[in-house]
Amino acid sequence: MNTYKVAICDDESLTCQEIEKILIENSQQIGAKFHAEIFYTGEALIESIRCGSSYDFLILDIELARMSGIDVGKFLREKNRNFHTQIIYVSSKETYAMKLFSVQPLDFLVKPITEESLFKALKRGFEIIGESEDYFFCNVKRENITISCKDILYLSSNKRIISVVCRDETIEYYGKLSEEMKQLPDYFVQIHNSYAINLNALKKSGTDYVIMNNDEQISVSRKYADSFKDKIFSRWKKMCCEG
């Protein structure tokens, strides 16, 4: 059973406790274990992220006292460049849909939160982010390197040199992209003979290009255009239509 890290942020302590209780008491039914941390302000959650904490899910109230849940989402996506973490917004109102678009939330739940609605959102999240402990292994100058897949933006290949471009560094070694694809999880997709991208790090896509969350633009070749579109459509269905 996989373990996922969850940050619960709401200025109502009772709401935080209720959500944590649902996660802990229903892990068998959900099919996953959860390590939950509770925050009562957006500022406290952002400070935790700035200090190096990472989460698979944020369950985040929109109407926080000073810094709103939308502000926290924008920090995560725009400043922290984190598109792996799935955001589940909660609110007592239903009028925020358009304001949430830019932070790409997984779901929007209206209080009071029910087990059924939370389960459906989490299960969609599992499909999107994959296993919480996906790792990529490579050998660099006879040293074995382990990289968390959620930190990888994309892989590129140039004259048998593989470049693994991560959020904070680029790792290079000799290899074949076709071989490396075999060990990558399902949310990676090849878009060119020389490029394979992490869909969780995709900021924008066009007909023949993608923009990653580091603002780098990569071409989508004709050879891979159809399979890439199919992958995007399948992902959209998981996010919006299932459950």
Q: What is the pLDDT of residue 243?
A: 46
Cα separation, 222 vs 68, whole angstroms: 42
Cα separation, 150 vs 82, whole angstroms: 9
Residue 167: both structure tokens together: 């959020």
The answer to whether the beta carbons of residues 230 and 191 sit under 8 Å apart is no
Helix (H, G, I), strand (E, B) or coil at 234: helix
Helix (H, G, I), strand (E, B) or coil at 189: strand
What would the pLDDT profile of 52-93 be if each residue is shown by its tens digit?
898 999 999 999 988 999 999 999 988 887 878 899 999 887
Q: What is the pLDDT of residue 30?
A: 85
Host H or E run for residue 127: helix 115-129
* Half-sphere exposure for 16 (CA within 13 Å, toward CB): 17
Helix (H, G, I), strand (E, B) or coil at 83: coil
Query: Is the model's pTM score more than 0.95?
Result: no
Residues ≥6 apart with Cβ < 8 Å to 186: 130
Residue 194: both structure tokens together: 């020389």
What are the residue ranges in the chain where pLDDT is below 50?
A: 242-243
Cα separation, 164 vs 161, whole angstroms: 10
What the chain holds in terms of domains, given with CATH numbers, is 3-129 (3.40.50.2300), 135-240 (2.40.50.1020)
The answer to whether the beta carbons of residues 164 and 174 sit under 8 Å apart is no
Catalogue the E-assigned strands of the chain.
Answer: 3-9, 33-39, 57-61, 86-91, 107-110, 135-140, 143-148, 152-158, 161-166, 170-174, 188-192, 195-198, 202-205, 209-212, 217-219
- Residue 25's alpha-carbon distances to 84, 87, 107, in angstroms, are 25, 21, 22
Cβ of 157: how many Cβ atoms within 10 Å? 18
